[in-house]
Amino acid sequence: MQQVKHLLGTKGREVFAVAPDAPVIDAIRQMAEKNVGALVVMKGSELVGIISERDYARKVILKDRSSRDTPVADIMTASVVTVATDATVDDCMRLCTDGRLRHLPVLDGGRVVGVVSIGDLVKATISEQKETINQLESYITS
């Protein structure tokens, strides 16, 4: 069973972050530039939240707030669900499904070392299933 550390080894460990006092418009620009749907919110080296496109749509656009005047801290999710590097892909899929989450920050020793998305998890699951099918087909034909 594949673990998060294997996913990060494949996709990379780059973490895109924003400060809690930054204006929301900066976070949205960074998400667009990096082609990601969420950023971790960091105060120094401490994880204090996560902000997603969903937060922006629901807490800024629908409430007619200003992206320039609203700080990230006002709309971020402060109770962040995280995983460790030894968590399995199945565990992460369960967390995402049960919590209706799309992004999971990965911690190692309390430090953010990556982020896995539901897309990363689905891709890993499909890859693992293809490998199992190939092994079974090989076994059957031998």
User: Is the separation of the CB atoms in 51 and 39 below 8 Å?
Assistant: yes
User: What are the tokens at 57?
Assistant: 């749509």
Number of domains in the chain: 1
- Residues 17-27 have a mean pLDDT of 97
Provide the pairing of β-strand 38-43 with 17-18.
parallel
Query: What pLDDT digit, counting tens, does each position of 73-132 carry?
Result: 999 999 999 999 999 999 999 999 999 999 999 999 999 999 999 999 999 988 888 887
Range of the domain at 136: 4-141
Query: What pLDDT digit, counting tens, does each position of 85-102 carry?
Result: 999 999 999 999 999 999
User: What pLDDT does 81 receive?
Assistant: 97
The CATH number of the domain where 71 resides is what?
Answer: 3.10.580.10
Q: For the chain, what percent of residues have pLDDT higher than 90?
A: 81
Start-to-end C-alpha separation, the chain = 25
